[in-house]
Structure 1
């Protein structure tokens, strides 16, 4: 039965893929990914077998390489807990270290490697659904992705499975060990930041910047002791960058944007929990840009105006009103490029004075605020 939702992609693919070898005819490989995505890909029908481009393995997050052997060109695809090796002209392949039947011989067409589509389904943990002989469409579902991101710290490899959000560690001679579930899928620009605390803990921040353009910014923060995660949090911001403060004095800070936990170094004990929404007075997620025993600097994601919270008196001060010239105040209230709000950046504390830079003008000026100003 003809499916209307396939007509447009099939027509587009036909225009871009008009020529086939004399021994093969045009076909299509409809892929339904496990995360709900879907794509229709050009394929070839040869001797009763549908062949698809091996590049789909790369779309699933595997890294490709090739080498030469006596029997043909060897193509290897490696990813997190997944490895595939195929050789042109061979009817067998290596899948996760085991020899399996391909169901056909891989071949080159227009400088691309084609392998049996059923093997791609098998390699990526999917299920064959149907073959529509009339429209030459082979459909498979539940195709898995195996993309990951890794970093090495202290001789240990830290790997996050981007699809599941699970974090693993692996020593030089050991097997992967699950140490945390980050709680959500990760998408694009992944980075790791490791900090060793004074008392031997590891403060790990995993950042995921994604979207088109990259306007989503999510941070996963974990405190690790003796190889185990003892505290963790995550927070996501929209069109808001910068960084959350991680340490002050002998304390570590974790935030989910709504609350803040002060963690004791060494033990991981929660010393204090602060309600950022209550302190800021705005229902939003907050960045935490500075902290000490007597003050807190927080910025709501949407309005983006930096607030000083006096932890001794509980008073709240909008710093742009105190520090910026009138024209810069208007700019802070109306600007939306690259994001809403002021661009004050806390640099350091000298005694009771907090110092800031204004990145909106970058004039080299130091802006100072005296903490004693709001205290009796």
Structure 2
């Protein structure tokens, strides 16, 4: 066959036809470098990529778009072109898709992606993936490993996460249009649960590593600014999620949400609102269970989220101020008024509360504290000067700083 083909080429007419066909193929090849590509085809490396790489050392960049905003992603490793596909390293994908969980094995041979509605597993050089428990054929390897780093085909990942990936050959840029939807927390050794909170629907999803995220319930979380979440394990079946949302200018507003997830379901939630520059942290765990600040109330609950009692502290103290919890027990609380920075002892048996400065200090000192409370928004405002020390039986011990340079004085108060 080879000899026959050579003989035909030597024929003048055949030779001319051959040259015309060759020229046409070459022109089409050149034209292919400037043809627009579709949404998914754009995630492929162009057919001439190998030729282009020999002509330029410029690496392929990565651009992220969200609505009208776009910015270049600082890559840890270059985008790889292989067999007509573009691959992005797992560390760079974590930066690009911050609300997707990507877990890679030590050798990079297995990568698991978890996202509400999707759980996918990719194995090195395999032309199929496991998506939501089903085997899905791919038109190329979904995962490759180069120098011990795992790379995933951007086309596959973009499809799962409802993103749009395009390759801009003129600028040698991979452009990914993606809007983050979830506030996430991927846990730690103490609380390995994965958490996704949809900022629009307020729906909460959770999963253990290697499992598909499932809906846990609808929360009361409304994000007004920069929110972040922290998870904490309460027992083998219960996870607590704290969502802190700071907002306003200059970030004086703070909302603190507590979400209790028992056996994967939302069983209890609370919301505390603060505005100012004071600390918003409260005692959460105590010997009898957990304490949650919900508006002006304190909820004492079992770790599974079942409420044992609710104390309307704000009503007891006849105040509109927000509160934080300094000490909690089933029979008593020590709380601090947020703006006025005054300590109160709450007797949960009698459903009564007293402000320490009114109960323990002389009249002139009480008057000074009340006059100073007009400046509660100032950074150097010291409140009533009381700090909780300890409890012994029914006696509560405190220290007091009178701001006159006399040092701290001890005081005690018993439950009635």
More strand by share: 1
After superposition, the CA RMSD in angstroms is 4.3
Q: 2:300, 2:330 within 8 Å by CA — same for their partners in 1?
A: no
Residues 136-176 of structure 1: CA deviation (Å, up to 9, x unaligned): xxxxxxxx543533131443222334454433222222112
- Specify whether residues 359 and 54 from structure 1 end up closer, same or farther in structure 2 by C-alpha distance, changes over 3 A only: farther
More helix by share: 2
Q: Distance in 2 between matches of 1:322 and 1:281?
A: 16
- Specify whether residues 176 and 60 from structure 1 end up closer, same or farther in structure 2 by C-alpha distance, changes over 3 A only: farther
TM-score by length of 2: 0.54
Q: 2:326, 2:336 within 8 Å by CA — same for their partners in 1?
A: yes
Question: Which stretch of the first structure deviates more once superposed, 92-101 or 275-284?
Answer: 92-101
Question: Which stretch of the first structure deviates more once superposed, 187-196 or 219-228?
Answer: 187-196
Equivalent residue for 1:69, pick from 80, 88, 93: 80
Residues 279-314 of structure 1: CA deviation (Å, up to 9, x unaligned): 121234333332324433333444342222333444
Q: Distance in 2 between matches of 1:312 and 1:258?
A: 18
Question: Which stretch of the first structure deviates more once superposed, 329-338 or 59-68?
Answer: 59-68
How much does 1:258 deviate? 2.6
Tell me which residue corresponds to 1:15: none
Tell me which residue corresponds to 1:149: 184
Equivalent residue for 1:307, pick from 339, 344, 351: 344
State the aligned residue count.
283
Tell me which residue corresponds to 2:35: none
Q: Distance in 2 between matches of 1:172 and 1:224?
A: 16
- Specify whether residues 294 and 148 from structure 1 end up closer, same or farther in structure 2 by C-alpha distance, changes over 3 A only: closer
Residue 382 of structure 2 corresponds to residue 338 of structure 1:
no
How much does 1:195 deviate? 4.5
- Specify whether residues 192 and 292 from structure 1 end up closer, same or farther in structure 2 by C-alpha distance, changes over 3 A only: same
Q: Distance in 2 between matches of 1:307 and 1:107?
A: 65
Tell me which residue corresponds to 1:40: none
Query: What stretches of structure 2 of length at least 5 have no aligned partner?
Result: 1-61, 103-152
Query: What stretches of structure 1 of length at least 5 have no aligned partner?
Result: 1-52, 84-91, 125-143
Tell me which residue corresponds to 1:255: 293
Task: Choose 1 or 2 for highest CA Rg.
Answer: 2
Match of 2:316, SS? Answer: helix
Match of 1:107, SS? Answer: coil
Residues 308-348 of structure 1: CA deviation (Å, up to 9, x unaligned): 23334444322234567939736556443338644644343
Q: 2:187, 2:194 within 8 Å by CA — same for their partners in 1?
A: yes
Q: 1:234, 1:255 within 8 Å by CA — same for their partners in 2?
A: yes
- Specify whether residues 247 and 100 from structure 1 end up closer, same or farther in structure 2 by C-alpha distance, changes over 3 A only: closer
Q: Distance in 1 between matches of 2:220 and 2:265?
A: 17
